[in-house]
Amino acid sequence: MSAQQIIPLYAGEIPNSKPGHMKELQASQNGVITGYAKVSNPTLTIFLPEHPTGTAVIICPGGGYIGETYKGEGTDIAGAFIKQGIAAFVLKYRLPSDSIMIDKSVGPLQDAQQAIKIVREHAADWKIKPNRIGIMGFSAGGHLASTAGTHFNKAYIPDSLNTSLRPDFMILCYPVISTDPEIAHMGSRTNLLGPDPGEEKLKLFSNELQVNKDTPPVWITHSGDDPAVPVENSIRFYQALIRNGIPVEMHLVTAGDHAFILRLNPDEWMIPIFNWIKKLQ
């Protein structure tokens, strides 16, 4: 399966950028790109279904904010969505770097907001309902997706049309959520925020603390034995959502290690997601 189109995320200057050079790296297998590192030129890979339902999902692969598992947590997932009539957009987002960004902590969030903006503004062209645009993330990509879903009231990108940057739902798979050192994935935290972030920035990007009554509905899955991103990340986020009256469905598996979905067939493990999306109003 191939994408219909790959487009640059920004038509002109990339916001929050500064003069610098970072050579993008990619991994491939049998001619298929499987992952990226040192991403400085963000793109959106578009997958449109033959029989659209009007729903769309922007997918943020994981990789600890140092790489992106582009195939297993990106294009493979998009392929499962379009079989269900759901448009899918794989986001290759900038990876935080002081060498190319003025403030690396907001670089990935800017790209997630820009992706939402593009999909919403082209909804009619792509046969998408503008109120059915969700975001999905895996591991550190789950942190990015949950950041987009809890920080949408502030535009970190130019938005002259005042397009809504709020995703209509979130799908989070073994997500990094918290910056609390007791449960944080410290590699992701350091890569995004630096080795010694202040308390204000730690709180801002600890997304269980950013949930409010306007947070969109959420679907979560995580493994109880995850050694990299403790399941407590998902549990705390779930509890914050419940406290704020946000619809949430969580699926916890007993054992599976981190990134357990990479060993499963997307068409099978994603069935609960497809059913959940259908029930969203």
Would you list the DSSP string of 160-223?
A: TT------S-EEEES------TTT--HHHHHHHH-SS--HHHHHHT-GGGS--TTPPPEEEEEE
If you average pLDDT over residues 212-222, what whole number do you get?
A: 98
pLDDT, one tens digit per residue, over 92-109 is 999 999 999 999 999 999
Assess whether pLDDT exceeds 60 at residue 258.
yes
CA 71 to chain centre: 14
Model confidence pTM above 0.95: yes
Residue-level pLDDT at 35: 97
- Taking the C-alpha atoms of residue 94 and residue 239, their distance in angstroms, rounded to an integer, is 30
Assess whether pLDDT exceeds 90 at residue 123.
yes
Residue-level pLDDT at 2: 56
CA 271 to chain centre: 19
Q: Which of 133, 116, 141, 77 is nearest to 277 (CA)?
A: 133
Structure tokens at 267: 């068409």
- Taking the C-alpha atoms of residue 73 and residue 75, their distance in angstroms, rounded to an integer, is 7
pLDDT, one tens digit per residue, over 130-168 is 999 999 999 999 999 999 999 999 999 999 999 999 999
pLDDT, one tens digit per residue, over 29-86 is 999 999 999 999 999 999 999 999 999 999 999 999 999 999 999 999 999 999 999 9
Burial class (CB in 10 A: 0-12, 13-18, 19+), 52: middle
